[in-house]
Structure 1
Amino acid sequence: MSDGVQESAVTSIRSWVLTANVRPLVESLAALVDYAVDGWDWDAIETGLSGTDADDPHGWYDYPLIGTTATLHLKLANDPGSLVTTVQVRHALDEVLTARIETTLSMLARYQVIA
């Protein structure tokens, strides 16, 4: 990884969320690391996510959330023909942060958030 974290000190979580929940996902993950998401972030993610394909190893969109408490490396890809977006989140090993990310992903996979 480019931020100097040794590979052995990194964890990765892979799951999916309802595509309608991608924005709430990004906002929720950003809040976990004290990163202020703005319109520029969302424009970049929305544009980058269009045309992605979870079945294509090169068809994913990468986006870092560099917060004051941690950095999350997001990889996002749509699952064409479905209502879900596949998500991978990599971060420095932190059991509490991992549990929070897993909880967020689990909720956004099951329930559509109305914002």
Structure 2
Amino acid sequence: MRVFCEILASLVGYEFDDLDWQAVEVGLVDTDDEREERWYGCPLIGAVVSLDLKPARAVGGTEVSVKVYGAADDALRAQVELACDVAASYDISRA
């Protein structure tokens, strides 16, 4: 999830650092992907465009669902979709 956040941040020119990651880690703890009000909001405020990343964990599972909002042009939209597709193809667990 951290790499995914870093990729999205990079796309908009936002420096995603350790403090951002700590906020996402803590924010994900009480999320529930089946309840919209329990998704975590993570703003990625770039120089020109900003994205609002909303991740949520599957209750009882290890999967994380994500939604990405923002005023993106076609190129950025395609890059975000590619990042989502690539991330969805990996099963990442703690060592």
Length-normalised TM-score, structure 1: 0.75
Long gaps (5+) in structure 1 = 1-21
- Alpha-carbon distance between aligned partners in 1 of 2:56 and 2:22, rounded to the nearest angstrom: 16
Tell me the equivalent position of 2:34.
55
Greater mean alpha carbon deviation, residues 25-34 or residues 77-86: 77-86
Amino acid in structure 2 at the alignment position of 1:74: L
Question: Partner of 2:87 in structure 1?
Answer: 108
Moved over 6 A (4+): none
- The amino acid that maps onto 2:26 is T
Equivalent pair of 2:49/2:72 in contact (CA under 8 Å): no
SS in 2 for 1:58: helix
Task: Indicate yes or no: 2:17 matched with 1:38.
Answer: yes
Higher strand content, 1 or 2: 1
Amino acid at match of 1:40: L
- Residue number in structure 2 paired with 1:25: 4
Looking at both structures, which has the greater relative contact order when contacts are Cα pairs under 8 Å and sequence separation is at least 6? 1
Q: Distance in 1 between matches of 2:18 and 2:77?
A: 26
How many residues are aligned here? Answer: 93
The correspondence for 2:53, drawn from 58, 74, 87, is: 74
Quick one: which amino acid aligns to residue 81 of structure 2? E
Residue aligned with 2:26, SS: helix
Partner of 2:77: 98
Alignment RMSD (CA, Å): 1.5
SS of the aligned residue for 1:76 comes to strand
